[in-house]
Homo-oligomer: A and B are copies of this chain.
């Protein structure tokens, strides 16, 4: 229901006899409610409460800071143009660490295999993990395999948890987002979700749309090294660009304004979205992030990012407004009309990562 996406929904508590729906895993409002009301409430501590892509942790005796982030991967299908569950499992977690300003160093890998899955398929996936880990400069240092009965899994599920070091003393996170910040997206949006949906729905386009799945630490490292005043970074996975913007706006209770024609979307992706009835603003990416930087550093940020082929289409897409207590995201559309961008309330694309 596209119309749902643009309705400001009033958060209704999870009732006691409710059941988990696919939409609770979609990265939108229901996911947030599940996290708020169960995981966030019962496990609360300062690191978890920050609600960032990963936790920033001070080592005992002040010996430095590390970042830690986890993701499970249940993507369907396991293989898709531009990657597979293995590349996704490495880049997804490595990118969450990068969003904390941390240099990714180590990954764990937990595999839940379904009885009957071919070992050659498992091998192909682990080969992808190996290649992606080398590219991202991380080592898989600890692992675990479990097997579940046939019909209690779906081939292969993975979990990766990453640990990285935070070398800068400059804190990066939603709390640092400030009035006037420029909002920069690192490249065109929507490719990962469309690549998955095309396979799942058996759609063929003139050219194959490949996932944008890629590691993001190098461009992030360059941003930090070049002295740019980076306030917050967030990768655009489940729920897409909209969810990232809505989350930040909500946490800070600040308005955000973005300009639709400035948001890069490839023509083939736009066309596929129209066929599938999807809005690219809500489609998941696996190699894209949004940066909130001091206004005066906006052009410099673009220049640094564009030096990376994966960020060649980086663009300034909007600005952060004042604290208004509402935390709305407003988008000026291509025809010059303002509309509210809300967090996805239902499920647009299940099992995208």
A residues lining the B interface (CB < 8 Å): 14-26, 31, 34-35, 38-39, 42-43, 45, 47-48, 54-55, 57, 59-61, 63-64, 66, 68-74, 105-106, 108-120, 122-123, 126-127, 129-130, 133, 139-149, 151-154, 157, 159, 161, 163, 165, 350-351
Sample of 25 A–B contacts (CB below 8 Å): A14-B119, A18-B118, A19-B116, A20-B118, A20-B122, A24-B145, A24-B147, A25-B148, A26-B147, A34-B122, A35-B143, A38-B122, A39-B126, A42-B123, A43-B126, A45-B140, A47-B142, A48-B143, A59-B64, A66-B163, A68-B106, A70-B159, A110-B159, A152-B154, A153-B153
Q: Is the CB of B74 within 8 A of A43?
A: no
Complex CA–CA separation, A47 to B23 (angstroms): 38
Q: Which chain B residue has the least Cβ–Cβ distance from A18?
A: B119
- Number of identical monomers bound together in the oligomeric complex: 2
* Interface of chain A, main secondary structure: mixed
Q: A109-B70, A118-B19 are in contact. Are A152 and B149 (CB under 8 A)?
A: no
Q: Is the CB of A21 within 8 A of B153?
A: no
Q: Contacts of A54 on B, CB cut-off 8 Å?
A: 142
Complex CA–CA separation, A114 to B241 (angstroms): 26
Q: Contacts of A142 on B, CB cut-off 8 Å?
A: 47-48, 54-55, 68-70, 161
